[in-house]
Structure 1
Amino acid sequence: MRLFPWQKQPEFFSAEESERIVAAIREAERRTSGEIRIFVESRCRFVDAIDRAAEVFFQLRMDETEQRNGTLLYVAVRDHQVAVFGDEGIHQKVGQQYWETEVRKMLHAFGQEHLVDGMVACINDIGEALYLHFPYDRDTDKNELPDEIVFGR
């Protein structure tokens, strides 16, 4: 899904890489009521990537999950910027230090030219945190947000 469907989608990932990222999201969400989304664009138009991540988070209406446990992984590929933005439910459980550690780990992987590996590892880590604090309940849980990667400009 693209925020602006009339724009040409940048080729950030191969089809196989995209599928690997989406598969990681689906696997992570299989064990939790939490939601994970990915937003990728070329450049961050904000000084701080977390500000852009917050803007995208609310544009995608990720704050409307029932338990407020949505998490956005934001990547500006050409600017080499990343951010992780968690809604208040998950943020209260893991704290700011957790998000900062995840960003550092992703930046380390990106620095070694392992963009997809870094993203998948982050998705897996977030999935574990969500599972710990918001385990799946087959009677009440549903997939509240799409799993596909959202591409910006």
Structure 2
Amino acid sequence: MNTLSRLCKHWFTTSAAGRKVFPAATLKAIETAIAEGEQLHRAEVRLIVEPALPTHMVLQHLTSRQRAVELFSHYRIWDTEENCGVLLYINLADHKVEIVADRAVGRLVSRGDWHSVCQTMTHGFARGAYHDSVVDALAQLNALLKAQMPADGGRANQLSNKPVML
């Protein structure tokens, strides 16, 4: 995709478009799915939805992956006791889903498993099923994390479960 067409996609994908596909009820369902999943495993999950990148980032050819890594750092998802933070990043304009995992959990889950979680969302998004796709992907992610980092008793929640809408 050339820079001009990508720029147009980002200009015309507004925060209102983000709120339309991720209304309050969907955000609450996501928060609940994250909270329930974290009772099953020791990882800490954050979900960030960004309708579009700012113009200067598009002009700098920032990829969705690079942006996800930047947000992983900005929101301090790496700052967990067991190095077990996981970011699910959704960029609506680019139609991309990225997962960035901290080193401890990243070593335990295969690249193919992360890719499968992303595909659950992108395939559902292509059908317009944003709510169900994210909830299904979180169930899939929680099952992977439970298998690799099962819960070992009570612990404090280290990262907010509330999704971030940029």
- Alignment TM-score, normalising by the size of structure 1: 0.85
Deviates more, 1:53-62 or 1:101-110: 101-110
Matched AA of 1:104? Q
- Deviation digits for residues 3-40 of structure 1 (CA, Å, limit 9, x no counterpart): xxxxx886242221111111111111111111110101
Matches for 1:2-151 after TM superposition, within 5 Å: 11-12=19-20, 13-44=22-53, 45=57, 47-139=62-154, 141-151=155-165
Q: Unmatched 5+ residue regions in structure 2?
A: 1-14
Instruction: Confirm or deny: 8 A CA contact 1:36 1:123 kept in the other structure.
Output: no
Unaligned runs of 5+ in 1: 1-7
**Identity across matched positions, percent:** 27
Alpha-carbon separation, structure 2, partners of 1:124 and 1:68: 21
Aligned to 2:12: none
| Contact 1:33–1:142 (Cα < 8 Å) also in 2 | no
Report the RMSD for the aligned CA atoms in angstroms: 1.9
Which has the higher relative contact order, 1 or 2, with Cα contacts under 8 A spaced 6 or more apart? 1
**Are the aligned partners of 1:40 and 1:149 in contact in 2 as well (CA < 8 Å)?**
yes
State the aligned residue count. Answer: 144
For the Cα contact (< 8 Å) 2:47–2:87, is it kept in 1? yes
Aligned partner letter, 1:109: G
Greater gyration radius: 2
SS in structure 2 opposite 1:30?
coil
TM-score (norm 2): 0.79
Structure 1 counterpart SS, 2:160: coil
- Check conservation: 1:106, 1:122, Cα contact below 8 A: yes
Determine the C-alpha separation between the residues in 2 that align with 1:17 and 1:36.
16
